[in-house]
Amino acid sequence: MSVPLVPNRRRSLSDPLSAALQPPQNETPSERDRRLFVELEAKRVSDGIDEMLRQERKERRMKQEVKILLLGQSESGKSTTLKQFQLMHAPAAFHADRIAWRAVIYLNLVRSVRRILDAISPNAEYLDDDNEIFESLSRKISSRGSGTQIAKYEHYRRALEPLKDLEERLTRMLSSPDEDEATHMPPARPDWNSYATGNHHKGAATKNGRPAPVITIPQSPPPPSPLSPSSPPVGYSLPSPGGSSNGSSKSRDAEISVHHTSNWKKAFSLGNKIRSPKSAHTNEIEGWWDDPSDPVHVLNACAQPMLALWKDTSVKQRLRERKLRIEDSSGFFLDEISRITALRYFPTDQDVLKARLKTLGVVEHTFAIPSSQCSNIDWTIYDVGGAPKQRHAWAPYFSEVNAIIFLAPISAFDQVLAEDPEVNRLEDSFQLWKSLVSNKLLMDVSIILFLNKIDLLRSKLKSGVRLKDHLPSYGDRPNDFEDVSKYFYNKFGAIHQEHSANKMRELKIHFTSVTDTRRTATIIHNVREIIITANLKSLQLM
Ligand SMILES: Nc1nc2c(ncn2[C@@H]2O[C@H](COP(=O)(O)OP(=O)(O)OP(=O)(O)O)[C@@H](O)[C@H]2O)c(=O)[nH]1
Ligand SMILES: [Mg+2]
């Protein structure tokens, strides 16, 4: 027979526990004092345990995980921002990786040299035909053969011929076979293949630096991108021919990019190249400079003609005529030829920050960062590819993240997208920004805007490039840094105000130059505190 349960049954003295806790009958005063003392002591211990459990619970809640998504068009500075986070919060791993960037820096340098040679070639106009799609045919024809002629062109071309082969070898080493990019070159020489596969100096191939990042490639089919930029709007002038340092659509100019699944860092890791010591009697270390097939030897041998080319005033004049500002382009190392081509060149922090390697897919890095408001917090930062073809990978992360750092390179107002020479870079940033702030999935996500590359904006404006020539709505305002930067600040702010899916969201805007470590460290510190505060508020812990 079942007995019905009585809800909220009051504890009666028939309850054995209550009965046991009752003071004994006929208790003497001294027995009572002892009993009370023991009870008090037991309560103190019990309260201590309760407090400990409360603290543990609080800490568990306080030990939040913050997830940040870095967004922005290609070359906006996302990966560079991630490098700054690494430099601040995982410096040992960052430093261990520096040597692996040698290949990228060499390739950046070699490509800059080739772009100059292409630009000064007597046939340059023909080479540029597919880039100058907005120029009238008559203008093209009349320009052929005009402009500054480079007397030493043939000399430069011949002296720098070995760099052609080197570019192919470096590209081959850094590319992964499954890339959908025109970075594939004919098979490299066997000795170079062995570096690329990490089989060089068998036995010495140790894993260098931190473990490879966890890579997440969204498996879902790419949704129709709500973030794809539309065609250039009315009111935007098209960039002048050659005005973009990145506008070429030629496959040979395709940027080097690596998929995160490829272990490109291994190809140039220190473990593969240094053995020590060279002999029992000296402390001299044997390094990559002792390997005759290392790229440094070709670069070292070409250093003088490279220097001469870059210093040649007629070359500079020709580049100006062609509106090619190599110094503004990604991976610019031409001012440091002697240092970088030295046999024992070892990349500095600054070199790594300046090195350019396009991101494919999504890279994920996690750091444990102490916070002033609570104990260590696990920060996960997602760095995505910003090229139009890469943007389908962004949306799956929208529902996961607490904050987005959006980078808009405001120096790029006179440039077009590398993948679509019909789209002005600044307009692309405006469109992306609008799509992002109006996205309902991101309503509760903190958004921080980095108006980036202000160093390049400053020098570009100083050199006389006028914003209104590319953005007619800027009108006759002064073409100086203060006015132009204020204009961009207001413009991005106004887009947020007008289109934000969350009218209560406070927007933080920073002017940045993310290659500048000191400035960026301060900004990152502030950003971290803003994100934590917003996060704690959302958890109602403040
Ligand atoms: N001078 C200067 N260069 C910058 C700045 N920010 C980034 N760069 C350089 O611009 C290039 C492109 O930066 P990345 O960080 O690779 O750009 P990204 O947004 O990750 O590009 P994708 O991976 O293609 O989406 C690199 O060579 C950087 O060193 C800046 O503020 N000033
Ligand atoms: Mg990147």
Summarize pLDDT for 362-401 with one digit per residue, the tens. 999 998 887 666 667 888 999 999 999 999 999 999 988 9
Q: Do you find a cis peptide bond into 277, omega within 30 degrees of 0? A: yes
Cβ-count burial 104-134 (b if 16+ within 10 Å, e if not): bbbbbbbbbbbbbbbbbbeebbeebeebbee
Pocket test for ligand 1, best of 84, 101, 227, 330 (most atoms within 8 A of CB): 330
Largest CA distance in the chain: 121
**CB of 325 sitting under 6 A from ligand 1:** no
**Rounded CA gap, 468 and 490, in Å?**
16
Residue 516 burial class via C-beta count within 10 angstroms: exposed 0-12, middle 13-18, buried 19 and up: middle
Residue 157 Cα to chain centre, angstroms: 34
Rounded distance from Cα 514 to ligand 1 centre (Å): 8
**CB of 353 sitting under 6 A from ligand 1:** yes
- pLDDT of the residue at 228: 35
**Rounded CA gap, 509 and 448, in Å?**
6
- pLDDT of the residue at 306: 98
**Rounded CA gap, 103 and 263, in Å?**
13
**CB of 77 sitting under 6 A from ligand 1:** yes
- The ligand 1 atom at the shortest distance from the C-alpha of residue 81 is 15
- pLDDT of the residue at 218: 31
**CB of 515 sitting under 6 A from ligand 1:** yes
Residue 244 three-state SS:
coil
Closest CA to 450 of 130, 71, 163, 189: 71
- pLDDT of the residue at 134: 40
Closest listed ligand to the CA of 75: 1
By alpha-carbon position, which residue is closest to atom 2 of ligand 1? 453
- pLDDT of the residue at 279: 58
The answer to whether the beta carbons of residues 414 and 369 sit under 8 Å apart is no
- The ligand 1 atom at the shortest distance from the C-alpha of residue 72 is 19
Residue 296 three-state SS:
helix
**Rounded CA gap, 362 and 214, in Å?**
9
Tokens representing 153 are: 């062109």
Q: Give, as one character, the DSSP assignment of residue 509.
A: E
In 10 A of CB 155, how many CB atoms? 13
- The ligand 1 atom at the shortest distance from the C-alpha of residue 384 is 25
> Which helix H or strand E contains 383, and what residues bound it?
strand 377-384
- The CA angle 63-66-69, to the nearest 5 degrees, is 170
**Rounded CA gap, 515 and 84, in Å?**
8
**Rounded CA gap, 270 and 78, in Å?**
26
- pLDDT of the residue at 332: 96
- pLDDT of the residue at 266: 67
Residue 340 Cα to chain centre, angstroms: 23
Within 202-328, strands assigned E span 214-215, 257-259
**Rounded CA gap, 397 and 307, in Å?**
46
Tokens representing 260 are: 């995160």
Rounded distance from Cα 520 to ligand 1 centre (Å): 13
- The ligand 1 atom at the shortest distance from the C-alpha of residue 355 is 27
Q: Is 112 annotated as a binding residue?
A: no
CA-only gyration radius of the chain, Å: 31
- The ligand 1 atom at the shortest distance from the C-alpha of residue 386 is 25
Helices 454-462, 481-499: axis angle to 10 degrees equals 130
- pLDDT of the residue at 225: 36
- pLDDT of the residue at 233: 32
**Rounded CA gap, 6 and 501, in Å?**
52
- pLDDT of the residue at 384: 95
pLDDT in tens, the chain (542 residues): 444 444 444 444 455 556 666 777 788 989 889 989 999 999 999 899 888 877 776 665 555 688 999 999 999 999 999 999 999 999 999 999 999 999 999 999 999 999 999 999 987 654 443 344 344 444 444 445 567 888 899 999 999 999 999 999 998 888 755 444 322 222 222 232 222 323 333 333 323 332 332 222 233 333 333 333 333 333 333 333 333 333 333 345 567 666 655 566 766 665 455 555 555 566 666 788 888 889 999 999 999 999 999 999 999 999 999 989 999 999 999 999 999 999 999 999 999 999 999 998 899 999 888 766 666 788 899 999 999 999 999 999 998 898 999 999 999 999 999 989 999 999 999 999 999 999 999 998 999 999 999 999 999 999 999 999 999 999 999 999 999 999 999 999 999 999 999 988 889 999 999 999 999 999 998 888 888 887 777 665 44
ipTM exceeding the 0.90 mark: yes
The answer to whether the beta carbons of residues 215 and 103 sit under 8 Å apart is no
**Rounded CA gap, 415 and 325, in Å?**
11
> Which helix H or strand E contains 460, and what residues bound it?
helix 454-462
**CB of 80 sitting under 6 A from ligand 1:** yes
Please give the span between the terminal C-alpha atoms of the chain, in angstroms, as a whole number: 54
- pLDDT of the residue at 21: 65
Rounded distance from Cα 363 to ligand 2 centre (Å): 9
Give the amino acid at 240: S
Pocket test for ligand 1, best of 69, 80, 415, 512 (most atoms within 8 A of CB): 80
In 10 A of CB 490, how many CB atoms? 12
Pocket test for ligand 1, best of 75, 336, 363, 417 (most atoms within 8 A of CB): 75
In 10 A of CB 204, how many CB atoms? 11
